[in-house]
Amino acid sequence: MADTSGGPVLRVAVAGASGYAGGEVLRLLLAHPEYRAGRLEIGALTGGSNAGTALGSLQPHLLPLADRILTETTPEILAGHDVVFLGLPHGQSAAIAQALPESTVIIDCGADFRLTDAAAWEKYYKSPHAGSWPYGLPELPGGRDRLRGATRIAVPGCYPTVASLALAPAVAAGIIEPTVHVVAVSGTSGAGRKPDVGLLASEVLGSARAYNIAGAHRHTPEIVQNLKAAATNSTENRDFDCAGADIAVSFTPVLAPMPRGILATCTAPVLVDAAQARAVYEKAYADEPFVHLLPEGQLPQTGSVLGSNAVTLQVAVDADAGLLVVIGAIDNLTKGTAGAAVQSMNLALGLDETAGLSTVGVAP
């Protein structure tokens, strides 16, 4: 659209535009008020092995961009953009980032720069640690400050997003003992758009299965990192200090026959009663635009946040078992990936944090 303001136009590139993360970034950008106002321009779209193909045949839901042709993913093509979103396989971001100017806002939807702990990275990713970038989860303590003006941003993993938001208030307030159990049911798009027999519809339809159990999933150390940060950064008076302690996270991902969504069940030994627990969450998220503590008794469901950037939570106490139970729902591609990326971009550029992002899901 024509720029009607006369001001400078922001040029945005998406590397990996043929994947699910890249496609979702584009879906959100097409609805972004800056794009609608002609002040944000969608520039290069790159696609590795799909270079030369029209986007319309790869992402047929992005009709306004159907005629755009994917290019190769090179620093030369990405240069000359103000913002570059990366939706690439792990390990490819560092080289691209180094070749682009410091002033380019690079927002990496991949894992390369999420972990601060090199040992954790090497244990889980079996490769050298590239370093860490400001972490794109504004709702964590200190999150917004890290992101304002940042030019390198690591978008959180989808599971850590919901698990961290579900548990951080309890950790920060010290109302749980630091042994948390997370079982998260995910839609299939979290596994990416790779031709894997185990992800075929025939295999997935009508079936649920766990995978990467017993701490094997790469998102485990990221959850640990976030919860430790929540404890450390907290200024609350806590009955129980878990800042210095090792926070033990049991994480089990479960694949369910749905395309999107994560429903996380989080449990931990609790030190307070239900009303106190609820009060902690009400306070923590009172001013958050995207995190919604549902009314008592109403439970999150992934279908309600489809395509939205909302996180819905419910908090309860199982008095018999002595546990805090927190249920959280997100759309793994929106708040869990591309929504966080756009939210981070907004903060980095000084735009309204919520621009182009909705809390209205597409349901039923």
Point out the residues that are catalytic. Answer: 158
| Closest to a second copy by CB, 239 or 352 | 352
Instruction: Write out the two tokens for 123.
Output: 């244990």
| 164, 226 Cβ separation under 8 angstroms | yes
Other residues' Cβ atoms within 10 Å of the Cβ of residue 145: 12
Q: What does the alpha-carbon distance between residue 38 and residue 113 come to, in Å, rounded to a whole number?
A: 32
Smallest gap from Cβ 80 to a second copy, in A, equals: 26
Other residues' Cβ atoms within 10 Å of the Cβ of residue 136: 29
| Closest to a second copy by CB, 118 or 321 | 321
Smallest gap from Cβ 70 to a second copy, in A, equals: 15
| Closest to a second copy by CB, 134 or 190 | 190
Smallest gap from Cβ 134 to a second copy, in A, equals: 27
Smallest gap from Cβ 218 to a second copy, in A, equals: 13
| Closest to a second copy by CB, 79 or 199 | 199
Please tell me what DSSP assigns to residue 302: G
Other residues' Cβ atoms within 10 Å of the Cβ of residue 123: 13
Smallest gap from Cβ 194 to a second copy, in A, equals: 8
| 256, 199 Cβ separation under 8 angstroms | no
Find the farthest-apart pair of alpha carbons in the chain and give their distance in angstroms, rounded. Answer: 64
Smallest gap from Cβ 49 to a second copy, in A, equals: 11
| 45, 117 Cβ separation under 8 angstroms | no
Smallest gap from Cβ 98 to a second copy, in A, equals: 31
Which amino acid type is present at position 352?
D
| Closest to a second copy by CB, 206 or 244 | 206
Angle between helices 158-173 and 274-285 in degrees, nearest 10: 120
Residue linked to tokens 């890290």: 146
| Closest to a second copy by CB, 153 or 266 | 266
| Closest to a second copy by CB, 21 or 153 | 21
Q: What does the alpha-carbon distance between residue 335 and residue 318 come to, in Å, rounded to a whole number?
A: 28
Q: What does the alpha-carbon distance between residue 9 and residue 3 come to, in Å, rounded to a whole number?
A: 7
Q: Which H helix or E strand runs over 326?
A: strand 323-330
Dihedral-angle region of residue 287 (phi above 0 means left; psi in -120 to 50 means alpha; beta otherwise): alpha
| 133, 108 Cβ separation under 8 angstroms | yes
